[in-house]
Amino acid sequence: MKTFPLASALLMAAGAQAQQRPNIVYIMTDDHTSQMMSCYGNSPVATPNLDRIAQEGVMFTQSFVANSLSGPSRACMLTGKHSHKNGFTNNEHGVFDGSQQTMPKLLRAAGYQTALIGKWHLVSTPTGFDHYDILVGQGEYYNPTFIHDDGSQSVEKGYCTDIITDKSIQWMEQRDKDKPFILFVHHKACHRDWLPPMQYLRAYESQSFPLPPNFWDNYEGREAAAAQEMCISSSHDMDLVYDNKIYRRGDNTRLTDNYLNYVNRLEEPDRTRYWQFHDSLTREFYAQQPTGRALTMYKFQRYMRDYAKVTRSLDDNVGRLMDYLREKGMLDNTLVVYTSDQGFYMGEHGWFDKRFMYEESMHTPLLMRLPSGYARRGRVEEMVQNIDYSPTFLEMAGVEIPSDIQGISLVPLLKEDKAPRQWRKQLYYHFYEYPAEHMVKRHYGVRTDRYKLIHFYNDIDAWELYDLQTDPMEMHNVYDDPSYAKIRKRLHAQLEQLQSEYEVEER
Could you say which of Ca ion, ligand SGN, none residue 437 binds, taking C-beta under 5 to 8 angstroms by partner kind? ligand SGN
Q: Which is nearer to ligand SGN, 436 or 460 (CB)?
A: 436
Q: How far is the CB of 70 from ligand SGN (least distance, A)?
A: 3
Omega of the bond leading into 417 within 30 degrees of 0 (cis): no
Q: Which is nearer to ligand SGN, 225 or 380 (CB)?
A: 225
Instruction: Check residue 193 for interaction with Ca ion (CB under 5 A).
Output: no
Q: Looking at beta carbons, which pairs linking 266-269 to residues 24 or more positions away fall under 8 Å?
A: 266/142, 266/143, 267/143, 267/157
Q: Which is nearer to Ca ion, 67 or 409 (CB)?
A: 67
Instruction: Check residue 341 for interaction with Ca ion (CB under 5 A).
Output: yes
Pattern 414-443, binding to ligand SGN, x per CB under 6 A? -----------------------xx-----
Q: Which of 24, 26, 28, 30 binds Ca ion (CB under 5 A)?
A: 30
Pairing between β-strand 366-369 and β-strand 462-467 as defined by DSSP bridges: unpaired
Pattern 57-96, binding to Ca ion, x per CB under 5 A? -------------x--------------------------
Could you say which of ligand SGN, Ca ion, none residue 192 binds, taking C-beta under 5 to 8 angstroms by partner kind? ligand SGN
Q: How far is the CB of 31 from ligand SGN (least distance, A)?
A: 5
Q: Which is nearer to Ca ion, 93 or 424 (CB)?
A: 93
Q: Which of 187, 191, 312, 447 binds ligand SGN (CB under 6 A)?
A: 191
Show Cβ contacts of residue 349 under 8 Å, excluding neighbours closer than 6 positions: 214, 215, 217, 219, 225, 358
Q: How far is the CB of 344 from ligand SGN (least distance, A)?
A: 9
Pattern 147-166, binding to ligand SGN, x per CB under 6 A? --------------------
**Stretch in the footprint of ligand SGN (CB under 6 A) among 54-62, 191-199, 201-209, 446-454:** 191-199
Binding residues with ligand SGN: total (CB under 6 A): 14
Q: How far is the CB of 68 from Ca ion (least distance, A)?
A: 8
Instruction: Check residue 237 for interaction with ligand SGN (CB under 6 A).
Output: no
User: Which neighbouring-strand residues pair with 231?
Assistant: 351
**Stretch in the footprint of Ca ion (CB under 5 A) among 37-45, 334-342, 391-399, 471-479:** 334-342
337 burial via Cβ count (<10 Å: 0-12, 13-18, 19+): buried
Q: Which residue's CB comes closest to ligand SGN?
A: 70
Ramachandran assignment for 42, one of left (phi > 0), alpha (psi -120 to 50 degrees), beta (any other) = left
Show Cβ contacts of residue 310 under 8 Å, excluding neighbours closer than 6 positions: 161, 189, 190, 194, 195, 196, 197
Could you say which of Ca ion, ligand SGN, none residue 97 binds, taking C-beta under 5 to 8 angstroms by partner kind? none
Q: How far is the CB of 142 from ligand SGN (least distance, A)?
A: 15
Omega of the bond leading into 213 within 30 degrees of 0 (cis): no
Query: How many whole angstroms separate alpha carbon 359 and alpha carbon 68?
Result: 11
Instruction: Check residue 30 for interaction with ligand SGN (CB under 6 A).
Output: yes
Strand ranges across the sheet with 462-467: 427-431, 443-447, 451-456, 462-467
Phi and psi of 461, rounded to 5°?
-145, 85
**Stretch in the footprint of Ca ion (CB under 5 A) among 7-15, 31-39, 142-150, 242-250:** 31-39
Phi and psi of 488, rounded to 5°?
-60, -45
Could you say which of ligand SGN, Ca ion, none residue 473 binds, taking C-beta under 5 to 8 angstroms by partner kind? none
Q: Which is nearer to ligand SGN, 45 or 238 (CB)?
A: 238
Query: How many whole angstroms separate alpha carbon 128 and alpha carbon 148?
Result: 15
CA atoms within 13 A on the CB side of 451: 20
CA atoms within 13 A on the CB side of 144: 27
DSSP track, 391-429:
HHHHHHTTPPPPTT--S--SHHHHHSSS--S-----EEE
Segment 344-363, which members bind ligand SGN (CB under 6 A)? Answer: 353
Query: How many whole angstroms separate alpha carbon 354 and alpha carbon 358?
Result: 9
Q: Which is nearer to ligand SGN, 224 or 322 (CB)?
A: 224
Residues within the interface to ligand SGN (CB under 6 A): 30-31, 69-70, 91, 138, 191-193, 255, 341, 353, 437-438
